[in-house]
Amino acid sequence: MLGRAAALRRGLQVAAGGTRGPDSGRGSAQPARLDPALLGLLVCPLSKRPLRYEESTNELINEELGIAYPVVDGIPNMIPQVARKIEAEPPHPTGEESKQS
Amino acid sequence: MAASIGAASCRALFCRSWGKRLSAAGRLLGGARGLAAQGETHLGFQTVPEAEKEQRVYQVFESVAKKYDIMNDSMSFGIHRLWKDILLHQMNPYPGTQLLDVAGGTGDIAFRFINYIRSQREYQLRQKLKSHQNLSWQEISKSYQEEALKPLGGSQVVICDINKEMLKVGKQKAQHLGYTEGLSWVVGNAEELPFDDDKFDVYTIAFGIRNVTHIDQALQEAYRVLQPGGRFLCLEFSQVNNPLISRLYDLYSFQVIPVLGEIIAGDWKSYQYLVESIRQFPAQEEFKAMIEDAGFLKVEYRNLTAGIVAIHSGFKL
């Protein structure tokens, strides 16, 4: 009974952990996901505003400032100097490099 | 025999630069305040531009990460373990406590925290079972099931370190030691923490704060992320007040530790920095005043091992 529950839980974790195993999808091995317990705690160290977790790129995104913090091996790197610049969402959508993945 | 020759030659090597370094240190100590105002700061006994310190400290810890634990043991004869145990006893967390451990890369505080919570939890469970003598089999089984689902009673520790190499070592250690539940790892700067306001019950920083460029900012950030009633705890090297012990301690720090660093970790310079940075860190009372300036109340400290280290505590009320 308990064993089955544990197995089920493990199954769920695997599902939540996303595709693991032999290099699935786009060339690079799928990186470890963000620890869900952290999502409710993390904010942008600069603006102290909440972040959006973008699963496809495995990044935490501050849309206001247009920066993305990478999650490497399941560890979010919240150092602004390391963050990637992306195009800020709301302000002028005209011109400039539109480098959105 | 070989070891003693090694030590002797290292000492000779050290003595050559010693005189020069002492006078430089004297100069620095005298002019430190003025310099600090112009955007410069200490890196051990050197004075470097503020912008450079963070990077240099990063290099130090990147370089020592893999040997950090063994170095701590050999430099302190294992006493650092006792100091950390004492910190946990002072914290006395209960199942449910949310801890932020800053500069806790290799997990020393976090693992102790988990162990402490586990034993508290076991104790709670035993007390509960004892107080209901005639429980049915089902009730007992249910209580164990509960325990299996929430072994830490909802406690969580977030380990935040600016150095990802240190975190990497800590995470590997956690896997190796079998800690899975309740641990989260984040690369972050103590001066601009990536956490929301009022989120943690306890903030710890053990042997970390003296490496921070702007200590006042780190303290303000600690205050911000703690929830009202939350506690700040800092374990850090401090000032030895007994003159005899102080002499011995200086001798040991400057003559032995860099040598150990060279022998064990192959890195004299980083350990030279470590001992110098210890001497530059403010003494007990001064640091206490800094903690109070950040807004903490009921700030106290206790000396351990004659003041070689001190635990400072303060509350956000």
Per-residue pLDDT of chain B (317 residues; tens, 9 = 90+): 444 444 444 443 333 344 334 333 333 333 333 334 457 787 777 777 777 788 888 888 887 788 888 888 888 899 999 999 999 999 999 999 999 999 998 899 999 999 999 999 888 888 887 877 777 888 778 877 777 777 788 899 999 999 999 999 999 999 999 998 899 999 999 999 999 999 999 999 999 999 999 999 999 999 999 999 999 999 999 999 999 999 999 999 999 999 988 988 888 888 888 889 999 999 999 999 999 999 999 999 999 999 999 999 999 99
Q: Å from A50 to nearest chain B CA?
A: 8
| Position A86 pLDDT exceeds 80 | yes
> Which of B32, B166, B45 minimizes the C-alpha distance to B108?
B166
Residues of B in contact with A45 (CB under 8 A): 188-189, 192-194
Start-to-end C-alpha separation, chain A:
46
Residues of A in contact with B168 (CB under 8 A): 73
Instruction: Tell whether A65 lies on the interface with B, counting CB pairs under 8 A.
Output: no
Question: Closest to B188 (Cβ–Cβ): which among A37, A50, A79?
Answer: A79
**Contact state of B188 with A45 under an 8 Å Cβ cutoff:** yes
**Contact state of B196 with A41 under an 8 Å Cβ cutoff:** yes
Average pLDDT, chain A: 70
How many structural domains compose chain B? 1
Indicate the helix (H) or strand (E) that contains B285. Answer: helix B284-293
- The interface residues of chain B toward chain A in range 166-205, judged by CB-CB distance below 8 A, are 167-168, 171, 184-189, 192-197, 199
State the pLDDT at residue B55. Answer: 81
Instruction: Tell whether A37 lies on the interface with B, counting CB pairs under 8 A.
Output: yes
Domains located in chain A, CATH noted = 2-85 (2.20.25.10)
| Residue B285, domain member (yes or no) | yes
State the pLDDT at residue B171. Answer: 93
Q: Å from B195 to nearest chain A CA?
A: 5
| Residue B273, domain member (yes or no) | no
**Contact state of A2 with B145 under an 8 Å Cβ cutoff:** yes
State the pLDDT at residue B304. Answer: 96
**Contact state of A75 with B167 under an 8 Å Cβ cutoff:** yes
Is the Cβ–Cβ distance between B100 and B225 less than 8 Å?
yes
In this predicted model, what pLDDT tens digit does every residue of A5-41 receive, in sequence order? 444 444 444 334 333 333 333 334 455 788 888 989 9
**Contact state of B184 with A80 under an 8 Å Cβ cutoff:** no
Instruction: Tell whether A99 lies on the interface with B, counting CB pairs under 8 A.
Output: no
State the pLDDT at residue B60. Answer: 82
| Residue B56, domain member (yes or no) | no
> Which of B112, B109, B110, B131 minimizes the C-alpha distance to B120?
B112
Strand A84-85 to strand A67-72: parallel, antiparallel, or no bridges (unpaired)? antiparallel
Distance in angstroms (rounded) separating the CA atoms of residues B255 and B181: 42
DSSP 3-state assignment of A66? coil
State the pLDDT at residue A32. Answer: 77
Q: Is B125 exposed, middle or buried (0-12, 13-18, 19+ CB in 10 A)?
A: middle
Instruction: Tell whether A26 lies on the interface with B, counting CB pairs under 8 A.
Output: no
| Residue B38, domain member (yes or no) | no
Name, in order, each residue with C-beta under 8 angstroms of B164's C-beta and a sequence gap of 6 or more.
A72, A75, A77, B187
**Contact state of B185 with A74 under an 8 Å Cβ cutoff:** yes
State the pLDDT at residue A10. Answer: 43
Token look-up 């112009």 returns: B38
**Contact state of B195 with A42 under an 8 Å Cβ cutoff:** yes
State the pLDDT at residue A90. Answer: 53
Distance in angstroms (rounded) separating the CA atoms of residues B211 and B214: 9
State the pLDDT at residue A89. Answer: 55
State the pLDDT at residue B128. Answer: 80
- How many cross-chain Cβ pairs, A to B, lie less than 8 Å apart? 58
Indicate the helix (H) or strand (E) that contains B70. Answer: helix B68-76
Domain with residue B229: its CATH number is: 3.40.50.150
Strand A75-76 to strand A67-72: parallel, antiparallel, or no bridges (unpaired)? antiparallel
* Residues tagged in the binding site annotation of B for S-adenosyl-L-methionine: 106, 161, 189-190
* Displacement of CA B296 from its chain's centroid (Å): 19
State the pLDDT at residue B193. Answer: 97
State the pLDDT at residue B244. Answer: 94
Q: For residue B250, what are the CA distances in angstroms to B12, B88, B257? A: 17, 28, 10
Instruction: Tell whether B164 lies on the interface with A, counting CB pairs under 8 A.
Output: yes
| Residue B63, domain member (yes or no) | no
| Residue B252, domain member (yes or no) | no
State the pLDDT at residue B24. Answer: 38
The two three-digit tokens of residue B162, written as one number: 């600016």
State the pLDDT at residue B264. Answer: 86
| Residue B105, domain member (yes or no) | yes
| Closest CA in chain B for residue A35 | B184
% chain A with pLDDT above 90:
35
Q: Å from B55 to nearest chain A CA?
A: 12
- The interface residues of chain B toward chain A in range 112-151, judged by CB-CB distance below 8 A, are 145, 148
Full residue range of the structural domain in which residue B158 is found: 78-238+281-317
Name, in order, each residue with C-beta under 8 angstroms of A89's C-beta and a sequence gap of 6 or more.
A63, A64, A66
Q: Mean of the pLDDT values across residues A56-65?
A: 92
pTM: 0.77
> Which of B276, B249, B215, B269 minimizes the C-alpha distance to B61?
B269
| Residue B255, domain member (yes or no) | no
Distance in angstroms (rounded) separating the CA atoms of residues A45 and B188: 8
Distance in angstroms (rounded) separating the CA atoms of residues B189 and B138: 49
The two three-digit tokens of residue B175, written as one number: 């896997």
